[in-house]
Every structure is written in C-alpha cells, then in structure tokens.
Structure 1
Amino acid sequence: MAVEDECKLKFLELKTKRNYRFIIFKIEGQNVVVEKLGGPEESYEDFNASLPADECRYAVFDFDFITNENCQKSKIFFIAWSPETSKVRMKMVYASSKDRFKRELDGIQVELQATDPSEMSLDIIKGRAL
C-alpha cells in the first residue's frame, strides 16, 4: 500500500499550520489518497457527516478543548472508520494497512477505532482527549 505524498503534506499542514480541522483519507487501488479536507471553521458534526455510512475510511481530526485546569489544548485524533455495513473485503484492506499508514503520519496523539457513529461521539472524543 503506497501513501501519496499529498497525504503526508496535508497532515503536516494540519499539525503545524492548523489549516484544516480534519482530513479524510480513502484507499483507491493500491494508494491512500486525500478524499476531503475540512476547513478550520468546520465542526465535529461536519466531520461526522463527511464519513460515508457504508464505506471504510481513515481520518484525522484536530480536536480543541479546555482542560480541567482551564488551559486551551489540542490533540490530533486518528480515526479508523469501519462501519458494520461496509464490505468484508474493504474492512480487511483497511484493517491490514492501518498501522503502516498511521506510521506515515507523525504526530498522532490518540487513536480511535469506530464501527458506528456512537463509538466516536463527541463525549468519547472529549474523554479520550483529557
């Protein structure tokens, strides 16, 4: 599985320049490519709405939050989206290439595996961030 340079470049921009709120990646043939870029003004709800209901995806989300000590922080989440309704072969391809792809993105702080939107609700994201 090859990772397009654009994937690494856009992730670097999200991490260092904060140009994006989220990035959704898709496997096309033998490559991982950028499917969608979410602007800094987009919300977690926009991100959730961008994930297909019946296809797997990888995604990164830059989550801003306030700690219990009242400090503004941010964590980069890697989300492996694998809905129950997606094809078995697709789930296998995404599962088998996830670790290799994740290694290409230096700076991921929290990983989340989700098969249903409830498994990556905002409450869960907040809980994993703190």
Structure 2
Amino acid sequence: MANARSGVGVNDECMLKFGELQSKRLHRFITFKMNDNFKEIVVDQVGNRETTYEDFTNSLPENDCRYAIYDFDFVTAEDVQKSRIFYILWSPDTAKVKSKMLYATSNQKFKSGLNGIQVDLQATDASEITLDVISARAR
C-alpha cells in the first residue's frame, strides 16, 4: 500500500505486528521506520509484554524519526484495570529535514491503517512523552 503523497509503501509485517499487539496483546510496543531508500515503512523494534515504558522511550533514536505504538496499562480512580493504545509520531528536532518531512507526509496515511488507536501524540523530544504525560493522556 503506497502513500499517494509521499510514495511510501507499508510492509505487510507492520499490520501483522499491530494486530498481534491490539488483539492478542503479544507486544508492549512496536516502532516502525522507513527503510534506507524511504520507499517503505517497516517494523523497527518490537517489545514484549514485560518491557517497561523506559525501555520503550530508550528505543527511540535521538536523531531520527519513528512511528510508534505503545499499549499502556493503567488503573482508573475507580480501581478498574484499563489499557490505551497510543500512536506516537517521534520526530526529534535533531533529525534530518528530509526524514522529518517524509515521516510527516506519510503519517496520516500510515496511522489511518491502524484501526484501534485511542490516543495520538506527536513528540519532538523526550519531555513530550514522559510517563506522566502518557498517564495523563490515558485518563
């Protein structure tokens, strides 16, 4: 499936891994990246259910963009266990301009193929996706 605006396709494994996270709860997070020639979005990293939020944020590169899915578990004020699926466009200020532009132009098309996302975030540095921010947005 190629993105009409940017010409970037999506590898089938991306949707397979997202389905495993969403339906089967096999993964805690998935990061996606564009391949070396910026023609296809592929799975970058997959974190198992025991992976911490810190492990997830540490997996995001300092100088390059990523799309990320994070399955956040929390307990409500009424003591009910819940989960929210976060979609994060990671686009650090230090990334190359070409990378930021291609990720931005492909973002909506890629995200629209991931049915079931509950919270959408864009971040340019780690302070925008701290555990406190994620917790507040989940509730």
TM tier, shorter chain? over 0.9
Show the counterpart of 1:103: 112
Counterparts of 1:41-80 in structure 2, within 5 Å, are 41-80=50-89
Query: Once the two structures are aligned, what percentage of the paired residues are identical?
Result: 56
Instruction: Give the letter for the 1:70 counterpart.
Output: D
Could you tell me which of 18, 21, 42 is aligned with 1:14?
21
Pairs aligned (count): 130
Tell me, which stretches of 5 or more residues in structure 1 are unaligned?
Answer: none
Answer yes or no: is 1:113 the counterpart of 2:126.
no
Instruction: Give the letter for the 1:42 counterpart.
Output: T
Query: Partners of 1:5 and 1:94 in 2: how far apart?
Result: 18
Could you tell me which of 11, 29, 34 is aligned with 1:27?
34
Tell me the secondary structure at the aligned position of residue 52 of structure 1.
coil
How far off is 1:104 after superposition?
Answer: 1.0
How far off is 1:68 after superposition?
Answer: 1.0
Instruction: Give the letter for the 1:26 counterpart.
Output: K
How far off is 1:45 after superposition?
Answer: 0.2
Query: Partners of 2:78 and 2:9 in 1: how far apart?
Result: 42
Show the counterpart of 2:11: 4
Tell me the secondary structure at the aligned position of residue 27 of structure 2.
coil
Stretches of 4+ aligned residues off by more than 2 angstroms: none
Show the counterpart of 1:128: 137
Answer yes or no: is 1:37 the counterpart of 2:85.
no
Tell me the secondary structure at the aligned position of residue 44 of structure 2.
strand
Tell me, which stretches of 5 or more residues in structure 2 are unaligned?
Answer: 1-7
RMSD value over aligned CA atoms? 0.5
